[in-house]
Chains A and B, each alone.
Chain A
Amino acid sequence: MSLHYLLNELYYQRRRTLAAIVGLSIGIALLIVLNALSSAYRQAARAPLAEIGADVTVQRPGDVPKDLAGVVFPCSAVTIRDDQVKKISGLPGVRGIGKAVLLWVFDPNRAWIVLGVEQQNNVGPAVLRSAVTDGRFLEEGKSEALVEVGYARQFNIKVGDSITIAKNTFPVVGLLDASRAAKIAVGNVYIPLTEAQKMAASSAGVQSVSPFNPADINLLFIKADQEQITGLAASLKTIVDKKATIGTPDSFLKLLGSLFALSDKFTMAASLIAIIVAVLVAFKTMAGNIAERAREIGVLKAVGWTNRNVVTQLLAESVIQCFLAGLLGLAIAFVAAFGLSFMKVNIPIPWDMAPTPHFLPGGGDQIFKTLRLPMHIPLLLATFGVLLSVVIGGVTGAFLGRSISKIKPSEVLRHE
């Protein structure tokens, strides 16, 4: 193989080299972008859960309380017993558990959405400590409250004030802005989990709908191994309830409704089409190029190049062209990914995960978690794209080289 001959051929036949490179690079770019897009949607679908440090949420739907007075459970989240939680924490793939109690409290002059949270935990609403805008987060062993900043503004509540919820008084130690965080597991008021558990256990409204012990909860957050989430979701239903609402990245992905989000098969099919088109373009361009060079190949053979010499030369040309096409495709994909990263994704939050009662202002509205599409091209995908391009070059070059090398020099060298 002569590198000099190869480079001269690619350089002096710039137009046909460029045609082959551009054709294939578009296919490779398409393949990379499609897969990156699919991966970005998957990542976006994980955002609502990831922002509260979880991979899975568990809720159990129940009956609507007879009277919307005092402390009640939302009908979408009733008791998950402590023994069920213990059983869940032992399931394979579970790496951590976060607990919370979500209550609706209807006091005579005000309605509260109360979230009882753990003070220290990397899983569940305790991660909201980073959303404190004024004052501090809840401390262990203290009976105190945090108020959502918008709610505080509406009712003129400040750090240092006291609030009374269902006859329990809490000093307000901080304000918290959860608007930029996950739209699930948020409330107007955040109190220690134990206080919320006591409040629920002592409430006739709660007990009449769903018996509740002070160690029970009604929202469960699970940190899990990504590969085991599907299996885990099935086990959770067995333990908690067949009708339990299990929030997983896949369930959010389905809500996104995008073709890329809906189906791996779509991405695979589109990628396959992109590859087939790329291969056909590369094959057609290179076949045309090689056919044009039949006379040249005849000369090579006449002056003593063996079939193997000819195939090696054409194979090397093809591989180099396709390698360059892979690099160009990657560059195009990077530019496209950068452009697509400005796209906004609205992830709908299911109504049963929304904490606001539907009968309160804004409660019936569909809420979304909005974020920029997290487009990036993983190293593995980039490498795969370039390698695939090289493989296409290898296969195309070998096939075309073998067929053209069989040409008889005497057939193409006859003078006109």
Chain B
Amino acid sequence: MNNGTILTGTGLSKKYGDLAVVKNVSLSINKSEFVCLVGKSGCGKTTLLSLLSGLERPTVGQVMLDGKEITSATEDDLALFRREHVGFIFQSFNLIPTLSAWENVALPLFPVKMTSEAREKRALELLEKMEMGHRTEHLPSALSGGEKQRVAIARALINHPKVLFADEPTGNLDSATGDAIMEILNRLHTQEGVAILMVTHEVELAKTAERLIRMHDGEVLS
């Protein structure tokens, strides 16, 4: 890993029973780089993202994230690592339905020892940044798809992540809203230097990224 690399996966394979979903994949992502992982549905993109982000362990191979080998870490260490170093954005937003927008943003900080005022202040700042300052007290059910994804992005940023993992972040949005979300991701990448690994099956969307990695049948093509 050179000094500019934030994430490296080496010889990653993942099998579910006899089914090999990811096959001997090696890749690396530099700091502040925006990389898109593209491929057809079922080609193993999401599984690879899970392996690289520490949500899942590879059957074979290892992952180095911000200089730390995470594949051998305990589950709790991995959870703490995710809390401190990475952010996630999901296609279906995955907001907690019983928490307001700002509480959803502050969710990763709930187990952290800090005052609730500090937690709320940080969440509100991020929502303001996502142009959601007027919707902080609303429950997810009262938000549009685009608003939900903005809340999800704010949540992903609450811990100042070095890498943001986005799994089809515009998949559930109309094209105009999807464009707006992509603009936010681009801004985060260019202005704040956050490395982004985005999974998508839409090649047009992937063109906004600095680098494209194509996957097919569990293998990286380019």
Q: Chain A: residues with CB nearer than 8 A to chain B? A: 2, 4-5, 8-9, 11-13, 295-296, 298-309, 408-410, 413-416
Contact = CB atoms under 8 A, between A and B. Distances in A.
A306 B80 contact: yes
Instruction: Report the interface size class on chain B.
Output: 35 or more
A307 to B, nearest CB: 6
Nearest to A296: B96
Q: Tell which of A5, A9, A304, A410 has the most Cβ of chain B within 10 Å.
A: A304
Contacts of B47: 410
A416 B92 contact: yes
Contacts of A300: 107
Contact of A408 (B56, B98, B155): B56
8 contacts: A2-B111, A300-B107, A301-B79, A304-B80, A305-B110, A410-B56, A413-B94, A415-B90
B205 interface: no
Given A5-B98, A306-B79, A413-B55, 8 more contacts: A8-B99, A299-B94, A299-B95, A303-B88, A304-B80, A306-B80, A307-B76, A415-B91
A403 to B, nearest CB: 15
A4 B110 CA distance: 10
Nearest to A12: B98
Contacts of B56: 408, 410
Contacts of B183: none
Interface in B43-62: 46-47, 50, 55-56
B82 A4 contact: no
Given A9-B98, A12-B139, A299-B96, A304 B83 contact: yes
A13 B75 contact: no
A2 B98 contact: no
B67 interface: no
B167 interface: yes
B150 to A, nearest CB: 16
A3 to B, nearest CB: 9
A350 to B, nearest CB: 64
A306 B98 contact: no
Contacts of A409: 55
Contact of A302 (B55, B92, B95): B55
B70 to A, nearest CB: 13
A408 B79 contact: no
Nearest to B87: A303
B55 A4 contact: no
B97 interface: yes
Q: Tell which of B84, B90, B167 has the most Cβ of chain A within 10 Å.
A: B90
B55 A305 contact: no
Given A2-B110, A413-B55, A415-B91, A302 B82 contact: yes
Given A8-B103, A309-B111, A415-B46, A303 B80 contact: no
Instruction: List the 8 shortest-distance A-B pairs measured between CB atoms, nearest first.
Output: A304-B83, A415-B91, A12-B98, A410-B50, A303-B108, A410-B56, A410-B55, A2-B110
A304 B108 contact: yes
Given A415-B46, A416-B92, A306 B111 contact: yes
Contacts of A298: 94
Interface in B71-87: 75-76, 79-84
A327 to B, nearest CB: 23
A313 to B, nearest CB: 8
A414 B107 CA distance: 20
B33 interface: no
Contacts of A304: 79-84, 108, 111, 159
B133 interface: no
A112 to B, nearest CB: 81
A212 to B, nearest CB: 84
Contacts of B190: none
A303 B135 CA distance: 22
Contacts of A414: 46
A298 B80 CA distance: 14
A4 B103 contact: yes
A9 B171 CA distance: 28
A299 B94 CA distance: 7
B144 interface: no
A204 B84 CA distance: 105
A415 to B, nearest CB: 4
A382 B34 CA distance: 63
Contacts of A2: 110-111
Nearest to A2: B110
Interface string B99-131: 100010001101100001000000000000000
A410 to B, nearest CB: 4
Contacts of B46: 414-415
Contacts of B82: 302-304
A414 B16 CA distance: 15
A306 to B, nearest CB: 4
A270 to B, nearest CB: 38
Given A5-B99, A8-B98, A414-B46, A303 B83 contact: yes
A4 B171 contact: no
B116 A4 contact: yes
A9 B116 CA distance: 18
